Amino acid sequence: MKVLVACEFSGIVRDAFRARGHDAFSVDIIPCEKGPDFHYERRIEDILEQGFKWDLMIAHPPCTYLTVAANKWMKPEYADRFPFRMSHRIEAIKFFMRLVNADIKRICIENPVGIISTAYRKPDQIIQPYQFGHPDRKKTCFWLKGLPPLKSTKIVAPNIKKNRNGKTASVHHDAALRLPANQRWKARSRTYQGIANAMAEQWGGPDEQ
């Protein structure tokens, strides 16, 4: 299969497919952590406009302006501090929809819970890392085209930490907060290996639908 992994700098999903014999490539506007092989350091729009026939695309569009956590900064009291926040969200939604409408038969677009459920439609599936062998909580939505929902591969108990305010947080999320501010987004955006393996194993065969 010809597999395109959009907005991926880590190469994790790409390499999971390549390990199973697929012709997979990642694309992002920044370099791949694993080196330049099998990676396009370009805009995803440039790749899609080439007209190459991909069998499957898995996309991870930036969630900065899409996630429900961003809603706080849309409130009127933050308008002076972040005057372009809403326009950035509108552009992020348009980018998401360009991926949805790509001329590819099988597509998975992932993102956290957020505005896309209202701006587009509710996700086809919501997964957690602890369904795929990682003891973390990180609710992730999938919007699917031509693909079945991903099946759990190894359910484990999530590691949960209770904060002083009484709320609980994933240990993974807590660990990201200990990193320098300019590195946290990378730690949070990497796909869990168990999820990447499940994608390659379950979606790397003949047409599912």
DSSP, res 132: B
pLDDT at 24 over 50: yes
SS3 content of the chain, % helix, strand, coil (to 5): 35, 20, 45
Global pTM value: 0.86
Fold classification of 2-203 is Rossmann fold (3.40.50)
For the stretch 27-41, pLDDT in tens is 999 999 999 999 999
What percent of the chain stands above pLDDT 90? Answer: 67
pLDDT digits (tens, 9 = 90+) for 189-201: 799 999 999 999 9
Give the model's pLDDT for residue 209: 43
**Digit-coded pLDDT (tens) for 85-125:** 778 889 999 999 999 999 999 999 999 999 999 999 999 99
Q: Say how far apart CA 93 and CA 156 lie, in whole Å.
A: 34
Greater pLDDT, 63 or 144: 144
Of 63, 154, 70, 40, nearest to 111 by C-alpha is: 63
Pairing assessment for the beta strands 56-59 and 2-6 based on DSSP bridges = parallel
